[in-house]
Chain A
């Protein structure tokens, strides 16, 4: 089959790769670009381990064909920290004990990121809804919700400080 010239922005960097058109975005990220922070848990849109942000929207990268990402902007877990500095959400996940085996963590953090960019001050219910597409088998979710609250509070505070 003829290869597809895929051009997209990944974590702020423009990449152009020739891929099989049947490849999933998940495969391009993991196998072609070696961004293995994005995980596969089910391959059918159930678990959210493969979550990435595509043009600002949270998507399951196992359900996105590579050509669908053409011309778009993708953010993966590798694009969350800046110059080795952990992001507020990443730090909050550690502080709250929201990471156990860690396999759901990249997807969870991206789900939380997408939520906070829409709604910087979410309530518990809104957080629960925001991560409802992401399964975690280890934590029981309470600490993940707590982590999102912590990060939101920190970001709000910073905003407030910056506004003064």
Chain B
């Protein structure tokens, strides 16, 4: 066999030595002499219209250089990976944590003091904290186009007919919780002007998208914006969204001075995306032998105040709703719904972990009904080469689930002898 020089060999990671010796520069580590410190005033009200922001007292604090509000945003005041629905600085509050004002000051202390004395008048609207009230007919629209952002459907065969004739049918409702990514590095970065080009160095998973949104919000052509990814202390999907980038860009551009900003843990949790909480109504049907006949599911994902990766997450949830199993009749509907909760976006798995919980629970329940073991019912249904997925894709090549299942079972038998009395 011919030898390759890379494939199959471990390569030392290029950033390894710098990381173990503390030399890697994360967003908060970048030394930028003379930089102003930025802090954001965040809404404590979940829903309402901003009537007035009075910054006069804040500007009197020694060291405070400028306070920006929505009125100072030079370009389109909206960004977002899929839907441009999130303002950099808002005049309409959609969750506790929305950004109202941005303070630039000589010291962090002065910036913090300024936050205390900015007066904001908000005409409050009733908050919609759950998907049902957000979807109710007369619910206040959180965004102009209404609270149901997207509906994704996956249909194959005739699920209704299969459910009528199946030997066993199991229906359950599942809910999953909101999850914070909790990367150990909070959001941070610096920005400065370099010969008419705005340079932003920040922890991010998405420099190219950041650049597009920063140029949109600041009304700058793309070639006037440079995003440089600083060493990034974990992301797990949470650093795909804009965090500090637009704030840094706005202040550096308007003030012509270097700026820096670091979220503390509280702000990081309050202001950034989460894993979507799901509500799933799931019905599965099987024949006497335990072969799946149909899956019908309605999935509602709470995307909170802004879309972020919500439409993609719910789409993925619909596509993966049947798990790694072959199901001939499928009827899935997945809704992505706005509420006044913290916004939900990408987090490891994009909606599939939530669906795995529902789909696998259903398999266990079906097994119980049919007096099969949990292992056996899975063996009878796993996708194999040649199987058709819920979306009708034929899996022509390798499919790993069967081998994985057997390997896991074999290992379980070794580490937990006598497990479950399962017949091999």
Residues in A lying within 8 Å of B, measured CB to CB? 30, 34-44, 47, 49, 76-78, 80-81, 86, 90-91, 93-94, 99-106, 109, 135-138
Complex partner residue of A99 from B16, B264, B265, CB under 8 angstroms: B16
Complex partner residue of A37 from B15, B22, B184, B234, CB under 8 angstroms: B22
Verify if B394 is at the interface (C-beta below 8 Å from A). no
> Hey, which chain B residues are within 8 Å of A78, CB to CB?
21-22
> Hey, which chain A residues are within 8 Å of B184, CB to CB?
39, 41, 47, 49, 101, 103-104, 135-137
Bound together, the chains give a CA A77 to CA B236 distance in angstroms of: 26
> Hey, which chain B residues are within 8 Å of A106, CB to CB?
22
- Given A41-B184, A137-B183, the answer on whether A94 and B21 have CB atoms closer than 8 Å is no
Determine how close the nearest CB of chain A comes to the CB of B278; give it in whole angstroms: 22
Verify if B173 is at the interface (C-beta below 8 Å from A). no
- Given A40-B28, A77-B22, A78-B21, the answer on whether A103 and B16 have CB atoms closer than 8 Å is no
Q: List 14 A-B contacts (CB under 8 A).
A: A36-B31, A37-B21, A38-B22, A41-B265, A86-B20, A90-B20, A94-B12, A94-B16, A101-B234, A102-B15, A102-B233, A103-B183, A105-B20, A137-B184
Verify if B194 is at the interface (C-beta below 8 Å from A). no
Taking a contact as CB atoms under 8 Å apart, the answer to whether B21 and A90 are in contact is yes
Taking a contact as CB atoms under 8 Å apart, the answer to whether A109 and B20 are in contact is yes
Total interface residues in chain B, CB < 8 Å = 30
Verify if B24 is at the interface (C-beta below 8 Å from A). yes
> Hey, which chain B residues are within 8 Å of A39, CB to CB?
26, 28, 184-185, 233
Bound together, the chains give a CA A36 to CA B13 distance in angstroms of: 21
Verify if B25 is at the interface (C-beta below 8 Å from A). yes
Determine how close the nearest CB of chain A comes to the CB of B359; give it in whole angstroms: 24
Taking a contact as CB atoms under 8 Å apart, the answer to whether B185 and A101 are in contact is yes
> Hey, which chain B residues are within 8 Å of A137, CB to CB?
181-184, 234, 236
> Hey, which chain A residues are within 8 Å of B17, CB to CB?
86, 90, 94
Determine how close the nearest CB of chain A comes to the CB of B34; give it in whole angstroms: 14
> Hey, which chain A residues are within 8 Å of B21, CB to CB?
37, 77-78, 80-81, 86, 90
Bound together, the chains give a CA A47 to CA B265 distance in angstroms of: 11
Bound together, the chains give a CA A137 to CA B20 distance in angstroms of: 16
Q: Which of B108-161 contact A (CB under 8 A)?
A: none
Residues in B lying within 8 Å of A, measured CB to CB? 12-13, 15-17, 19-26, 28-29, 31, 181-186, 231-236, 264-265
> Hey, which chain A residues are within 8 Å of B26, CB to CB?
39, 103
Bound together, the chains give a CA A90 to CA B23 distance in angstroms of: 13
Determine how close the nearest CB of chain B comes to the CB of A82; give it in whole angstroms: 11
Complex: chain B residue closest to A147, CB-CB: B20
- Given A101-B234, A103-B233, A137-B236, the answer on whether A41 and B186 have CB atoms closer than 8 Å is yes
Taking a contact as CB atoms under 8 Å apart, the answer to whether A36 and B233 are in contact is no
- Given A43-B264, A103-B233, A103-B234, the answer on whether A36 and B25 have CB atoms closer than 8 Å is yes
> Hey, which chain A residues are within 8 Å of B264, CB to CB?
43
Bound together, the chains give a CA A29 to CA B12 distance in angstroms of: 30
Most buried by B among A38, A41, A47, A104: A41
> Hey, which chain A residues are within 8 Å of B234, CB to CB?
100-101, 103, 137-138
Bound together, the chains give a CA A101 to CA B231 distance in angstroms of: 8
Bound together, the chains give a CA A129 to CA B69 distance in angstroms of: 48
Determine how close the nearest CB of chain B comes to the CB of A87; give it in whole angstroms: 9
For the complex of A and B, the 7 pairs showing the least CB-CB separation, nearest first, are A37-B22, A103-B233, A102-B19, A77-B22, A36-B29, A90-B20, A103-B185
Bound together, the chains give a CA A109 to CA B264 distance in angstroms of: 23
> Hey, which chain B residues are within 8 Å of A109, CB to CB?
20
Most buried by A among B22, B182, B235: B22
Given contacts A36-B22, A39-B185, 10 further A-B contacts (CB under 8 A): A41-B265, A42-B265, A81-B21, A90-B21, A91-B20, A94-B12, A102-B24, A104-B184, A109-B20, A136-B184
Determine how close the nearest CB of chain B comes to the CB of A151; give it in whole angstroms: 11
Bound together, the chains give a CA A99 to CA B22 distance in angstroms of: 12
Bound together, the chains give a CA A151 to CA B323 distance in angstroms of: 42
Bound together, the chains give a CA A77 to CA B231 distance in angstroms of: 17
Determine how close the nearest CB of chain A comes to the CB of B170; give it in whole angstroms: 33
Bound together, the chains give a CA A39 to CA B203 distance in angstroms of: 14
Taking a contact as CB atoms under 8 Å apart, the answer to whether A41 and B22 are in contact is no
Taking a contact as CB atoms under 8 Å apart, the answer to whether B22 and A94 are in contact is no
Taking a contact as CB atoms under 8 Å apart, the answer to whether B20 and A101 are in contact is no
Taking a contact as CB atoms under 8 Å apart, the answer to whether A105 and B19 are in contact is yes
Taking a contact as CB atoms under 8 Å apart, the answer to whether A43 and B233 are in contact is no
Bound together, the chains give a CA A94 to CA B164 distance in angstroms of: 58
Most buried by A among B16, B31, B181, B184: B184
> Hey, which chain A residues are within 8 Å of B13, CB to CB?
94, 99
Bound together, the chains give a CA A34 to CA B15 distance in angstroms of: 20
Determine how close the nearest CB of chain B comes to the CB of A83; give it in whole angstroms: 12
Bound together, the chains give a CA A99 to CA B15 distance in angstroms of: 9
Most buried by A among B24, B182, B231, B236: B24
Determine how close the nearest CB of chain A comes to the CB of B307; give it in whole angstroms: 25
Determine how close the nearest CB of chain B comes to the CB of A35; give it in whole angstroms: 8
Determine how close the nearest CB of chain B comes to the CB of A7; give it in whole angstroms: 23
Bound together, the chains give a CA A86 to CA B23 distance in angstroms of: 12
Determine how close the nearest CB of chain A comes to the CB of B230; give it in whole angstroms: 11
Bound together, the chains give a CA A93 to CA B22 distance in angstroms of: 13
> Hey, which chain B residues are within 8 Å of A40, CB to CB?
28, 186
Taking a contact as CB atoms under 8 Å apart, the answer to whether B22 and A101 are in contact is no
> Hey, which chain A residues are within 8 Å of B186, CB to CB?
40-41
